[in-house]
């Protein structure tokens, strides 16, 4: 069940999407080009929100990470740019964690 605010937002998004589709159609953009650009923008946005983390992005997109990875390659998205400044610290700077071995 949706609240009124959610329904209003859905209507606004739908109206914006319809206007965009009409604009693309009148600009003679092919269906395949429009779908490709939509996929690229949608995936880029989710990747940016997750700082380039493909596992989290795939989960939010509702797809397997291998499918996302393949799609990223097909769309020629450079994930490295999204990860800028989000690098793991060197081992020497990481906190030491002692792992317990599971006895079987």
Q: How many domains does the chain have?
A: 1
Whether this model's pTM surpasses 0.85: no
Residue 59 in domain: yes
Predicted local distance difference test score (pLDDT) of residue 6 = 84
Q: What does the pLDDT read at residue 98?
A: 62
Q: Is 89 left (phi over 0), alpha (psi -120 to 50) or beta?
A: beta
| Domain presence at residue 60 | yes
Question: Residue 47 falls within a domain, yes or no?
Answer: yes
CATH number of the domain that residue 31 is part of:
1.10.10.60
- 96 within a domain of the structure (yes/no): no
Does 90 fall in a domain? no
State the angle between helix axes of 65-74 and 54-61 in degrees (0 to 180), rounded to the nearest 10: 100
Q: Higher model confidence: residue 77 or residue 87? A: 77
Residue 60 belongs to domain spanning: 4-84
> Is 14 a member of any domain?
yes
Buried b vs exposed e over 36-67: b needs ≥16 C-beta within 10 Å?
eeeebeebbebbeebebbbeebbeebeeeeee
């Amino acid at each position: 069940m949706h609240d009124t605010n959610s329904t209003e937002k859905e209507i606004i998004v739908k109206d914006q999407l319809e206007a965009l589709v009409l604009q693309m159609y009148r600009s003679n953009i092919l269906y395949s080009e429009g779908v490709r650009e939509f996929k690229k923008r949608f995936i880029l946005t989710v990747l940016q929100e997750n700082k380039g983390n493909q596992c989290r992005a795939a989960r939010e997109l509702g797809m397997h990470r291998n499918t996302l990875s393949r799609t990223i390659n097909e769309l020629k998205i450079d994930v490295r740019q999204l990860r800028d400044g989000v690098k793991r610290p060197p081992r020497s700077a990481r906190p030491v964690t002692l792992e317990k071995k599971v006895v079987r």
